[in-house]
């Protein structure tokens, strides 16, 4: 095969799958994989001038004045000095170019800072400090605690027992809680031996670069054995290593091919609708100017014929009437150019700058607790704020504080958490006057934890068996890591904030989680330290919607503890729990009505002989290469049945102040709000009810959670037919798309009643395909509220682009995490909230502030006033110019 043919074959093979050989740069370089250098800047020294001028001359007025300048250097038609046009034009272009250059220099500086970070790379058996930009696919690198992950890595080994590593993924999905990853045993055995790692020649065959953050498929071939790889074995660029001294990883994807960069939206040049309208108006004025100049040129020709010969006595010239009229036409184009003066754009920029200062100075949008004022990070989009029709919002950290608190619970049919008036027997609203529970009996209690129902702590002190079992389960059934910096000063690192809240609640009520190892969990029960043997962890996932642990207590008793969604746990309870289940369900309905996140707790005592046999089968399934997940799921189903109900928990993910009121006011302004979140469906729905996006009074809330394109299409159609039973459009929608007759604008349709739509990320991936996107958009636009959950950063941007494309409406995206950057860039206006998830969203935004509630003031006050000011100015400016020019004419 020729070199060209070999290159084409490899390129084609690369599109299907990716092959990486460890410690073999020569082999990997033959596939021409991307380097680890990234580039987010728009210009370089050679392209800056042509590209920037090209962007600026997209403004028709700028192009017009360049044309005018060319006319003015022609002596035969020049009636004014070229200097009068070139100075203001160069000034306007220079100021804009300087602003763009400063922005791009900052981007270059940021790129250089990232590309020049150092990491230890294993080369020829030695660890060498290399710049990130020099790291290549197939290299083995060493990461240390609190270090950023350099590229997408296959985890080889770590300093922790069982080859676990803990990572923070705030840059990717906005979640600040820690995630756990685990290396394969075959690679983990190499530990930190440089000799073994340098000799490692495993070959990874995996999927090509893509933007799916939640999925990875591949295989490792090593020592003639093939091992299955999934998302649990991969560390993604943008994550941070936490609570792990060191780990080694093999680079799978580098630079622009990493999942983080695949999810980054492109920076676009944002222009307001007034800018676009100005281009149309300027074209209209050009036509009017041309018409006036034609009339004057014709008049000049007529005058030349009748009186021009007499004028020759004063100024001898050629007597060509047509040519004289032609030159006069261009002369008048120059003389009457005041109808479109260049000062118009300069004046607009000055007004926009002033409006930006009004936003920066507004004390009503200043957050005193964090000392964060509002900031207009761009001066060109202020009036667009008054034209918003669609708002796309993140949830965690944007609508909520991302702070979970244990609020209420139900134990063996008794509800705790409400403060009851002893005289009336009614629940009291919790105010500052009500005294919280005193946890001084517990030296390890968290002082920040507040609970107001004293009867629950009395139950703990009285050693009620059900209450103790409830908190024992919370202290054991989790994946939290404990860190004790000083004696008694415990810090919990949880994979989810609600899991941390439950463990903290157990801690305060006397069941303190102290530490864990791969084999044991140590807790302190009412001051007595007890160590439980951890025999199995049955992980939580979106299908199971529950988590279980199997432990042996110090007395040798085997127990399974389980927590999960109510519908899932109820199906697996022993029939004797029916009465308790009925009462607990009533409590759960009350909790859900208050917008609280609920979990049901259950347990089961296990027989030693049965568990030994089950454990053996569990081990066999766990090492199976084929149908591993199906085999494990079958075993989990087998053991998680006939459980005994203990109770339920209710956790509050506190909304930010004023969120519900802000959403209500924006809804009155006919602004639609779509929530795009990476959180699970139940969480998103609960928050939807908490902030009044979803309401019990709605006619229906449609849930789209199908796993195939056909099922998604059917669920969308069913929803549309329910909202508009007499509609006939659905019958013709798909044939229209097949024939290529796609409408340019999707019109709003009349719907009787109010509806909500909740769609998960898996279904959304199908709904955003080209043959279904219109059907999804039509259905979504008929709903009062749309919530998309479990979405990737790129899907957020795709939803925004879909609405921009077919609704022709002005869109705004608001978020606080790096996972929101792509949608912030995609929307007409991006708003960043400076929250707990870093400053990435703020740095990519057009406007920023500290709280979601400030959005109301930004849109309904500053947006409206900026729009009105600009419109009044433009009306007066055109009136003044037309008056001046017509008098001249």
Concatenate the DSSP letters of all residues of 577-591 into one string.
GHHHHHHHHHHHHHH
Residue of 489, 495, 400 lying closest to 448 (CA atoms): 489
Q: Taking residues 465-490, report their average pLDDT.
A: 87
Dump pLDDT digits (tens) for 501-555. Answer: 999 999 999 999 998 876 789 999 998 999 999 998 888 766 677 899 999 999 9
Q: Is the pLDDT of residue 173 over 70?
A: no
Q: Is the pLDDT of residue 3 over 60?
A: no
Residues annotated as catalytic (active site), given as ranges? 394
Residue of 242, 239, 234 lying closest to 216 (CA atoms): 234
Residue of 144, 151, 152 lying closest to 248 (CA atoms): 144
More confident residue, 327 or 606: 606
Q: Provide the pLDDT for residue 211.
A: 79
Q: Taking residues 228-247, report their average pLDDT.
A: 88
Q: Is the pLDDT of residue 473 over 90?
A: yes
Mean pLDDT computed over every residue of the chain: 84
Q: Taking residues 847-874, report their average pLDDT.
A: 93
Q: Provide the pLDDT for residue 420.
A: 72
Q: How confident is the model at residue 414 (pLDDT cuts 50, 70, 90)?
A: very high
Q: Taking residues 42-49, report their average pLDDT.
A: 88
Q: Provide the pLDDT for residue 36.
A: 93
Q: Provide the pLDDT for residue 612.
A: 93
The angle subtended at Cα 58 by Cα 52 and Cα 326, nearest 5°, is: 120
Q: Is the pLDDT of residue 115 over 70?
A: yes
Q: What whole-number percentage of the chain has pLDDT above 70?
A: 87
Gap between the Cα atoms of 715 and 712, Å rounded: 5
Gap between the Cα atoms of 631 and 644, Å rounded: 25
Structure tokens belonging to residue 173: 């999905």
DSSP run (H or E) holding 403: strand 400-411
Task: To the nearest 10°, report the CA torsion of 24, 30, 34, 37.
Answer: 60
Q: Are strands 18-21 and 203-206 parallel, antiparallel or unpaired?
A: antiparallel
Q: Taking residues 646-657, report their average pLDDT.
A: 86
Residues 6+ apart with CB under 8 A from 509: 442, 456, 457, 460, 471
Residues 6+ apart with CB under 8 A from 634: none
Dump pLDDT digits (tens) for 261-296. Answer: 887 656 566 778 888 888 788 888 888 888 999 998
Q: Are strands 388-393 and 810-815 parallel, antiparallel or unpaired?
A: parallel
Q: Provide the pLDDT for residue 12.
A: 38
Dump pLDDT digits (tens) for 58-94. Answer: 777 788 778 888 887 887 777 677 776 788 788 878 8
Dump pLDDT digits (tens) for 116-150. Answer: 999 999 998 899 999 999 999 999 999 999 999 99
Q: Is the pLDDT of residue 11 over 50?
A: no
Q: Provide the pLDDT for residue 655.
A: 79
Q: In this structure, are residues 551 and 532 in contact, taking their beta carbons and an 8 Å threshold?
A: yes
Q: Provide the pLDDT for residue 230.
A: 82
Q: In this structure, are residues 856 and 385 in contact, taking their beta carbons and an 8 Å threshold?
A: no
Q: How confident is the model at residue 480 (pLDDT cuts 50, 70, 90)?
A: confident
DSSP run (H or E) holding 632: helix 628-639
CB neighbours of residue 469 within 10 Å: 18
Q: Taking residues 657-677, report their average pLDDT.
A: 90
Reduced to 3 states (helix: H, G, I; strand: E, B; else coil), residue 707 is coil
Concatenate the DSSP letters of all residues of 149-210 into one string.
P-SEEEEEEESSGGGEEEEE-HHHHS--SEEEEE--HHHHTTTT-HHHHHH---EEEEPPS-
Backbone angles phi, psi at 319, to 5 degrees: -100, 65
Range with the poorest average pLDDT among 115-129, 396-410, 765-779: 396-410
Dump pLDDT digits (tens) for 549-605. Answer: 999 999 999 999 999 988 889 999 999 999 999 999 999 888 877 767 789 999 999
Tokens 């009500």 belong to residue: 434
558: left (phi over 0), alpha (psi -120 to 50) or beta: beta
Q: Taking residues 196-223, report their average pLDDT.
A: 87
Crossing angle of helices 60-72 and 321-335, in 10° steps, is 130
More confident residue, 343 or 874: 874
Q: In this structure, are residues 18 and 154 in contact, taking their beta carbons and an 8 Å threshold?
A: no
Q: Provide the pLDDT for residue 330.
A: 85
Residue of 40, 274, 268, 23 lying closest to 154 (CA atoms): 23
DSSP secondary structure letter of residue 466: H
More confident residue, 2 or 772: 772
Dump pLDDT digits (tens) for 792-844. Answer: 888 899 999 999 988 888 999 998 877 788 889 889 999 988 765 556 677 77
Q: In this structure, are residues 259 and 235 in contact, taking their beta carbons and an 8 Å threshold?
A: no
Q: Provide the pLDDT for residue 353.
A: 85
Q: How confident is the model at residue 730 (pLDDT cuts 50, 70, 90)?
A: very low
HSE, side-chain direction, 13 A CA sphere, residue 42 = 17
Range with the poorest average pLDDT among 196-205, 681-690, 812-821: 681-690
Q: Is the pLDDT of residue 729 over 50?
A: no
Q: Is the pLDDT of residue 177 over 70?
A: no
Q: In this structure, are residues 758 and 765 in contact, taking their beta carbons and an 8 Å threshold?
A: no
Dump pLDDT digits (tens) for 622-651. Answer: 666 567 678 888 999 999 999 999 999 998
Highest mean pLDDT among 209-218, 409-418, 828-837: 409-418
Gap between the Cα atoms of 19 and 386, Å rounded: 52
Q: How confident is the model at residue 196 (pLDDT cuts 50, 70, 90)?
A: very high
Q: What whole-number percentage of the chain has pLDDT above 90?
A: 34
Gap between the Cα atoms of 119 and 141, Å rounded: 7
Q: Is the pLDDT of residue 257 over 60?
A: yes
What b-and-e string marks burial along 651-676, b requiring 16 or more CB atoms within 10 Å of the CB?
A: bbbebbeebbebbebbeeeebbbbbb
DSSP secondary structure letter of residue 603: E
Structure tokens belonging to residue 546: 């529950």
Q: Provide the pLDDT for residue 2.
A: 40
Q: Provide the pLDDT for residue 745.
A: 59
Crossing angle of helices 343-361 and 83-115, in 10° steps, is 40
Dump pLDDT digits (tens) for 456-467. Answer: 999 999 999 999
Q: Are strands 785-789 and 755-760 parallel, antiparallel or unpaired?
A: parallel
């Amino acid at each position: 095969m020729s070199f060209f043919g070999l290159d084409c074959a490899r390129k084609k093979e690369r599109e299907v799958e990716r092959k990486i050989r460890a410690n073999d740069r020569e082999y990997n370089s033959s596939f021409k994989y991307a380097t680890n250098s990234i580039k987010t800047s728009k210009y370089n020294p050679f392209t800056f001038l042509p590209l920037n001028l090209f962007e600026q001359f997209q403004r028709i007025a700028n192009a017009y004045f360049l044309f005018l300048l060319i006319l003015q250097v022609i002596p035969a038609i020049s009636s004014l000095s070229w200097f009068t046009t070139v100075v203001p034009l160069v000034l306007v272009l220079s100021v804009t170019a300087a602003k763009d250059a400063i922005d791009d220099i900052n981007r270059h500086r940021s790129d250089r800072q990232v590309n020049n970070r150092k990491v230890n790379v294993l080369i020829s058996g030695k660890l060498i400090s290399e710049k990130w930009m020099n790291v290549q696919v197939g290299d083995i690198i060493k990461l240390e605690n609190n270090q950023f992950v350099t590229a997408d890595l296959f985890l080889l080994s770590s300093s922790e027992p069982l080859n676990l590593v803990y990572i923070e993924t705030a840059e990717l999905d906005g979640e600040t809680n820690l995630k756990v990853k685990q290396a394969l045993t075959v690679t983990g055995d190499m530990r930190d031996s440089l000799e073994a790692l340098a000799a490692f020649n495993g070959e990874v065959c995996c999927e090509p670069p893509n933007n799916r953050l939640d999925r990875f498929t591949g295989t490792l071939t090593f020592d003639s054995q093939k091992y299955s790889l999934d998302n649990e074995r991969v560390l993604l660029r943008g994550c941070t290593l936490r609570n792990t001294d060191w780990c080694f990883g093999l680079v799978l994807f580098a630079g622009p091919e990493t999942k983080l960069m695949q999810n980054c939206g492109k920076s676009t040049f944002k222009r307001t609708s007034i800018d676009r309208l100005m281009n149309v108006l300027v074209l209209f004025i050009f036509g009017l100017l041309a018409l006036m100049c034609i009339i004057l040129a014709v008049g000049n020709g007529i005058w030349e014929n009748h009186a021009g010969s007499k004028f020759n006595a004063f100024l001898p010239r050629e007597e060509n009437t047509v040519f004289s009229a032609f030159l006069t036409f261009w002369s008048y184009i120059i003389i009457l150019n005041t109808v479109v003066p260049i000062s118009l754009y300069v004046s607009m920029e000055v007004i926009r700058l002033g409006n930006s200062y009004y936003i920066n100075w507004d004390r009503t949008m200043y957050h005193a607790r964090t000392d964060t004022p509002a900031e207009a990070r761009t001066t060109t989009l202020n009036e667009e704020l008054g034209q918003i029709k669609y708002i796309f919002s993140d949830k965690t950290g944007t609508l909520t504080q991302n702070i979970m608190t244990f609020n209420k619970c139900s134990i063996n049919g008794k509800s705790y958490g409400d403060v009851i008036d002893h005289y009336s027997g009614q629940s009291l609203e919790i105010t500052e006057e009500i005294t919280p529970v005193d946890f001084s009996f517990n030296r390890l209690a968290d002082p920040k934890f507040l609970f107001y129902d004293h009867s629950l702590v009395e139950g703990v002190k009285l050693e009620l068996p059900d209450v103790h079992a409830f908190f024992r389960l919370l202290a054991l059934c989790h994946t939290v890591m404990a860190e004790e910096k000083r004696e008694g000063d415990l810090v919990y690192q949880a994979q989810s904030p609600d899991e941390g809240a439950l463990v903290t609640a157990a801690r305060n009520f006397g069941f303190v989680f102290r530490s864990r190892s791969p084999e044991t969990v140590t807790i302190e029960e009412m001051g007595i330290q007890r160590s439980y043997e951890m025999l199995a962890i049955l992980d939580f996932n979106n299908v199971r919607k529950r988590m279980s642990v199997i432990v042996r207590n110090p007395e040798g008793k085997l127990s399974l503890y389980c927590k999960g969604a109510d519908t899932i746990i109820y199906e697996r309870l022993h029939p004797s729990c029916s009465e308790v289940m009925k009462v607990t369900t009533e409590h759960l309905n009350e909790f859900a009505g208050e917008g609280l996140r609920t979990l049901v707790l259950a347990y089961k005592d296990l027989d030693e002989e049965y568990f030994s046999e089950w454990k053996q089968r569990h081990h066999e399934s766990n090492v199976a290469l084929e149908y591993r997940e199906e085999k494990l799921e079958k075993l989990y189903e087998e053991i998680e049945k006939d459980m005994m109900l203990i109770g339920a928990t209710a956790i509050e993910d506190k909304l930010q102040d004023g969120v519900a009121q802000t959403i209500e006011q924006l809804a009155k302004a006919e602004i639609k709000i779509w929530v795009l979140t990476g959180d699970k469906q139940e969480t998103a729905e609960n928050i939807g009810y908490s902030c009044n996006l979803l309401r019990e009074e709605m006619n229906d809330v449609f849930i789209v959670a199908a796993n195939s394109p056909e099922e998604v299409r059917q669920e969308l159609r069913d929803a549309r037919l329910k909202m508009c039973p007499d509609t006939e459009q659905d019958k013709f929608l798909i044939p229209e798309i097949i024939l290529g007759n796609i409408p340019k604008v999707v019109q709003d349709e009349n719907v009787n009643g109010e509806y909500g739509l909740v769609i998960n990320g898996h279904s959304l991936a199908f709904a955003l395909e080209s043959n279904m996107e219109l059907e999804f958009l039509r259905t979504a636009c008929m709903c009062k509220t749309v919530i998309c959950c479990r979405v990737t950063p790129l899907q957020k941007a795709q939803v925004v682009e879909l609405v921009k494309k077919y609704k022709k409406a002005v869109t705004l995206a608001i978020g606080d995490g790096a996972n929101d950057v792509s949608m912030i860039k995609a929307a007409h206006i991006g708003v960043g909230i400076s929250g707990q998830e870093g400053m990435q969203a703020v740095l990519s935004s057009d406007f920023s502030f500290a709280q979601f509630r400030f959005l109301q003031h930004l849109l309904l006050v500053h947006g409206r006033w900026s729009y009105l000011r600009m419109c009044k100015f433009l009306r007066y400016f055109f009136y003044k110019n037309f008056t001046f020019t017509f008098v001249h004419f």
